[in-house]
Copies of this chain bind each other. A is one copy, B any other.
């Protein structure tokens, strides 16, 4: 039995599903998207989703985890590629923004966190806390190596995360703008540093 292959197929389908779900949630809001909407986007029937997930709540939860993962990946990648504080930061901005304007996957604005079930909520909150902490650490490092001007890292970090996570609110897929964003937005953000 091709355990691995099966596993992968399942995983792949599930991943497609999360992406579709995220897209719906982004476009129509959480309360505005029914499982039917998500299923239709995949050419499936709503009941089929339950083969992959046990509830709508779990579906958003997984979307949020995925969003958090992608953010973390962007930061990790930047860290592994550069030494200098500011260089890391600029890379991170670029990767994170690319991800944000590229596949419309992640839902940066996790508005439904409050209605997640306890453990899910805690986990998601922990992930984003962790990410903030990591980013602040990078900021600190930049300050230490002199590439970043001293600042209140907590506030500065939150300000920047806000700017990035806010992007979906005003970017709606225009590819021209996407390019501009990737090229210029990192600098806009870096200005204050």
Contact = CB atoms under 8 A, between A and B. Distances in A.
A28 interface: yes
The interface centre, meaning the residue of A111, A113, A161 with most chain B CB atoms within 10 A of its CB, is: A111
Interface in A1-55: 27-32
- Per DSSP, are chain A's interface residues mostly helix, strand or loop, or mixed? helix
The interface centre, meaning the residue of A29, A112, A165, A189 with most chain B CB atoms within 10 A of its CB, is: A29
A184 B155 contact: yes
Contact of A31 (B30, B160, B180, B193): B30
A166 B167 CA distance: 11
Interface in A157-193: 158-167, 169-170, 180-181, 184-185, 188-189, 191-193
Nearest to A158: B170
Contacts of A112: 29, 31-32, 111
A31 B189 CA distance: 33
A166 B158 contact: yes
Interface of A: 27-32, 109, 111-115, 132, 149, 151-152, 155-156, 158-167, 169-170, 180-181, 184-185, 188-189, 191-193
